[in-house]
Structure 1
C-alpha cells in the first residue's frame, strides 16, 4: 500500500520579510513564497522559502502579475507585508486573489500622505489645513490659514527622512532648497524609498504617540498606546510602552484613531497610527497599514504577551491568532544611541556593563571602530538601542537611562 502524502502546509506570499518574520511564519506551520526588492534582497532567506523572487515592489501592477503566476503554482492562503514600501503591493495582490486585505486600497492610500489628507478633507471632524508643496507660495498659503510654524514632509517618506520644521517666512527659502535636495533622492535607500513629492501642514505642538491596533471585520483592538521620544531632526529616539497617559487623554487618543481607521476604511490586520496630543487636542500625523517600525511589536510582546507580527501572518492566512505568552513586565522602554557630532568612531565602551544592569532586557550596538557617524537625520543613522522592562513605565525608563549613561561613544581625534 502506498503511504498517503503528508498534509500540505498553507502557503503565505510574503513581501519583503525579515528573517524574524520568516521564522515566525514557519513557526505557525506556514510555508513561504518570498518576494524581495533586488536592492534589498537577503539571499540567506532563500533556503527557508519554497520560492524567492526578486522584483520591483513599487511596481504594483508588476507585482500583481508575478503573484498571479505564482498563485497558479502554490495556491496562496494569504499575502502580507510589514515593510512600508511593499504594503500597497501586498494589499493589491490580496484584493486581486480574493484574500484577506487591509481594506480596498487603504494601504496605498496611507502610503500617500497627500491622498490621505484629501480623504480626511471629507470629514469636518478629521480634516486639518494642508497643501501639496510645489513651491514656497504653497507654504505661505497654509501659514496664512493656520499660522507658523509649519512642517514640510515627503508625501511618501519613511524613517523621518526629509521632515523639516519652518519657524517663519525668513526660513522658507532655505527649507525649499532642502526639499529640492531630498527630491533628488541622494539618500541611502532611495531605490526602495524614493521621495516623489512634498506636502506642507501646520506644526502641531505637543507630545507624540503611536497607537498600535489590530482589526478584524472592521473592529479595532487597541493593543497599546506608545509614547514616542523624538529628537531635533524628528528622528525617533525612543518608545515607552504603555504611554503614561491619564484615562481621559488616552480615551481621546483612542477615539480619534478609531474614527480615523473607520473613515479611511481599514478593516483587517495591523495599523500603526501616529498622533500629537497638545492644547489643541489630538492631531493626526499619519498612519500605516502595517505593524509599527522600530520593532515596536517586540516591545508590545514584552508587556502584553501578544505578538502583532505573528497575529498578522496568521490572520492573513485565515488561521486562529496564536496564544499569548506570559508578559515579561508591566512596561517596556526602548532608547536609541545617537552621535552628538560627526566623526569616526574609535571605540564603543560600556555595552556589556549596560546589559548587566537591573531591568535591562537587551543592548544592541550597530556601530564600531572606523565607522563614520553623524547626528541622526533619519532612523538608519542611529547607532544602537537599549530595551528595559519594569513594573511601570517610570521604572523601565529609569533603567534604560542608566544603561544609556553606561555606554560611551569615543571618537577619533581630528
Structure 2
C-alpha cells in the first residue's frame, strides 16, 4: 500500500522575507486538454506556450488562449533555426519573463520537444532517454540492460518477418508500430493466417512483433521530483487494453489507498526512474502479472497517462494531482496530503459508426450507483466514425467505490444501462 504523504507545518519566519519570483514554464501544447487548462488557470506560474504548427487545434481553443504568450514552431524549418528564432523572440519581448522550466505532455512530439528544450538551455531529456521512453524496441533493450522482465520482441519490416517471429517464439503474436499509442495499428495474431489478413505494413512506419502476454494488465503512475519518486499510484484494467478493440469494457480503475495491491508500486517506479534517469515529472508505465504471478513490464512513458487516469488518482486519494505534477516540472518538492480513501475509475462509453439517433444522457448516468461524473462527447445528430483505437468512445463516466472490485461491478451496471442507437449515414432517425 502506498504510504501517505502529509504536509508538515512550519513556524512563520521571524522577519519579512523577499517575495519569491513567479516561475515561468515553456509548456508544449497537446491533446491533454484537462492538464493544459489546469496549467493555464494557475496564478502561481507564468506560462509560455510552445505550439507546433503540425498539431491541429480547435478555433475555440485558439481563441481561448489568444492572451497567452505563444511561440509557434515551424516544423518545416531546421530545429536549430527555430531555437535561435525563439531566443530572439524572448529577448525581443521585454515584458515576457524568460522561461526557466519546461514541460512536454505531448507523446508524439517527445523527440523534437526535448531537443528544442536542449537547444534553448531548458531542462530536458537527452535523445537517449527519449528513445528509452518512446521507441518500444530501444525501451525493451534498456529493460534487458536493467534486468527488468519483458516480452520477447523483434523489429520487423514485412509480414514474412512476423510469421518467422511467431514460428520461433510461439503464437499468438502482437504486431504494432514502434512509436504508436492507443493501440493504433496494433493487432493480436493467433496464426500465420491472421498475419495474411492484416493490412500491409506501412513502410513509412517502423514495426515490431512481440510475444503475447496472457494475464492481468495494470497501469503504474508516479510523481518524480529531483530523481525521487514521491509516491506511486496503481490502476487495473478490467481487461487488457488491446481487448477493448473487440468491444470489451474499456476502463482504468485506481485502487483505494488502503487496498492491498499486488506489487510495491513505489519501489517499481523508483527502479524505473533510476534506470531511465528521469529527473522529474510524471512517469507512466504498464505491466502484466501472468497467471502464475510472474511480472512482465510492458511500456513506459515520461508524460501523463491517457484517458482520465490522472484524474482518477486525484479523486481516489483526494488531492489536486495535476497541481502536484506541474510542481515537479518547476523543480519543487510537493507534499501531497490525501483526504480520501476510495477507489475511482474512468469508464469509456461505447461507440460505433453511424449517425446518433439516441444516446443516454449525462443526467441519467449520474443517477446510477457510484457515478460521480459524466462527460458525453456525442449527441443526437452527430455522425460517428470512431478510429480503431483504445481511446475511441462517446464520452466517459467516473465511478467510485470502496474497492477496485466494487468500482468494476458498478461500471458493468453502467454499461448495461447505457444506450446508443445509430443509423447508417444518410438514413432517417430510427423509429
The two structures have a TM-score, normalised by structure 1, of: 0.82
Q: CA deviation at 1:374?
A: 5.7
Report the counterpart of residue 56 of structure 2 in structure 1: 40
Answer yes or no: is 1:21 the counterpart of 2:14. no
Give the Cα–Cα distance (whole angstroms) in 2 for the partners of residues 321 and 144 of structure 1.
50
| RMSD value, Cα | 3.2
Q: For residues 323-362 of structure 1, what are the structure 2 equivalents within 5 Å?
A: 323-324=336-337, 326-327=339-340, 329-339=341-351, 341-362=352-373
Q: For residues 13-412 of structure 1, what are the structure 2 equivalents within 5 Å?
A: 13-17=26-30, 19-25=33-39, 26-38=41-53, 39-41=55-57, 42-56=61-75, 61=80, 64-65=83-84, 67-72=86-91, 73=93, 74-101=97-124, 105-126=128-149, 128-175=151-198, 177-180=199-202, 196-229=205-238, 230=241, 231-233=243-245, 237-242=250-255, 249-251=262-264, 258-279=270-291, 281-321=294-334, 323-324=336-337, 326-327=339-340, 329-339=341-351, 341-373=352-384, 377-412=388-423
Paired residue secondary structure (1:250): coil
Q: CA deviation at 1:375?
A: 6.8
Q: What stretches of structure 1 of length at least 5 have no aligned partner?
A: 1-5, 185-195
Distance 1:309 1:246, change over 3 A: closer
Q: CA deviation at 1:115?
A: 2.0
Give the Cα–Cα distance (whole angstroms) in 2 for the partners of residues 9 and 265 of structure 1.
28
Paired residue secondary structure (2:195): helix
Deviations 1:33-85 (A, max 9, x none): 11223342330343341335254399865664455445545421211021212
Deviations 1:314-372 (A, max 9, x none): 22223342754633x51102111113x53321121343121123421111111122333
Structure 1, 285-294 or 60-69: larger mean CA deviation: 60-69
Give the Cα–Cα distance (whole angstroms) in 1 for the partners of residues 131 and 77 of structure 2.
11
Give the Cα–Cα distance (whole angstroms) in 2 for the partners of residues 379 and 219 of structure 1.
31
Deviations 1:117-155 (A, max 9, x none): 333343454454211111123223322442111001111
Give the Cα–Cα distance (whole angstroms) in 1 for the partners of residues 327 and 289 of structure 2.
33
Give the Cα–Cα distance (whole angstroms) in 2 for the partners of residues 62 and 113 of structure 1.
30
Contact 1:331 1:389 (8 Å CA) reproduced: yes
Structure 1, 54-63 or 94-103: larger mean CA deviation: 54-63
Q: CA deviation at 1:308?
A: 3.8
The two structures have a TM-score, normalised by structure 2, of: 0.79
Contact 2:222 2:269 (8 Å CA) reproduced: no
- How many residues align structurally? 392
Q: CA deviation at 1:243?
A: 7.8
Structure 1, 139-148 or 254-263: larger mean CA deviation: 254-263
Give the Cα–Cα distance (whole angstroms) in 2 for the partners of residues 374 and 128 of structure 1.
33
Paired residue secondary structure (1:378): coil
Report the counterpart of residue 193 of structure 1 in structure 2: none
Distance 1:171 1:257, change over 3 A: farther
Q: CA deviation at 1:206?
A: 0.8
Distance 1:12 1:125, change over 3 A: closer
Contact 1:337 1:384 (8 Å CA) reproduced: yes
Q: CA deviation at 1:228?
A: 1.7
